[in-house]
Chain A
Amino acid sequence: MQVSYYPGCDLYTKAKVLNDSIKAAFNAVGIELKELANWYCCGTTFTLARDNKMSLIAPLRILSRAQKEDGYLLVPCSICYNTLKRANYIFKNDPDTLKIINEHLGENYNGGEKIIHPFEFIKEHKDEFKKGVKKSLENLKLGSYYGCYLLRPKNEVEFDDPESPTIMEEFVQLMGAQPVTFPLKVECCGSYLIVNSPEAALEASYKILKNARERGAEAIVTSCPVCHYNLDNFQSKIAGMHSDHQFIPVFYFSQIMAMAFGLPVEVWGLEYNKVNPTNLLKEHKIL
Chain B
Amino acid sequence: MRKLSRDKDFILRIQEISQQNIADCYQCGRCTAGCPFAEFMDEPPNRIIRYIQLGYKEDVLKAHSPWFCAACLVCESRCPRGVDIPRIMEAVRTIHLRAKEQLIDIDKIDKELLKDAHPLVLMSALYKYSY
A13: chain B residues at CB < 8 Å are 118-119
* Distance between Cα atoms of A187 and B38 in the complex (Å): 13
State the total of A-B contacts with C-beta under 8 angstroms: 132
Give the residue of B72, B78, B94, B117 whose beta carbon is less than 8 angstroms from that of A188. Answer: B72
* Distance between Cα atoms of A79 and B128 in the complex (Å): 15
A48 near B120: Cβ-Cβ < 8 Å: no
B104 at the interface (CB under 8 A from A): yes
A41: chain B residues at CB < 8 Å are 123
Closest beta carbon of chain B to A64's beta carbon, Å: 23
Q: Which residue of B lies closest to A9 (CB)?
A: B119
B120 near A79: Cβ-Cβ < 8 Å: yes
A51 with B71, Cβ < 8 A, contacts A10-B118, A79-B120, A192-B124 known: no
- The B interface is mostly helix, strand or loop, or mixed, namely helix
Total contacting residues, chain A, CB less than 8 A: 44
A191 near B72: Cβ-Cβ < 8 Å: yes
* Interface of A toward B, CB cutoff 8 Å: 9-10, 13-15, 41, 44-45, 47-52, 79, 148, 151-154, 162-163, 186-188, 190-201, 204, 207, 225-226, 229-230, 233
Total contacting residues, chain B, CB less than 8 A: 42
Give the residue of B37, B94, B104 whose beta carbon is less than 8 angstroms from that of A200. Answer: B37
A148 near B73: Cβ-Cβ < 8 Å: yes
A152 near B94: Cβ-Cβ < 8 Å: no
Closest beta carbon of chain B to A51's beta carbon, Å: 5
Per-position binary interface string of chain B over residues 23-44, scored 1 when its CB falls under 8 Å from any chain A CB and 0 otherwise = 0000000000000110010000
Closest beta carbon of chain B to A50's beta carbon, Å: 4
A230: chain B residues at CB < 8 Å are 121
Closest beta carbon of chain B to A212's beta carbon, Å: 15
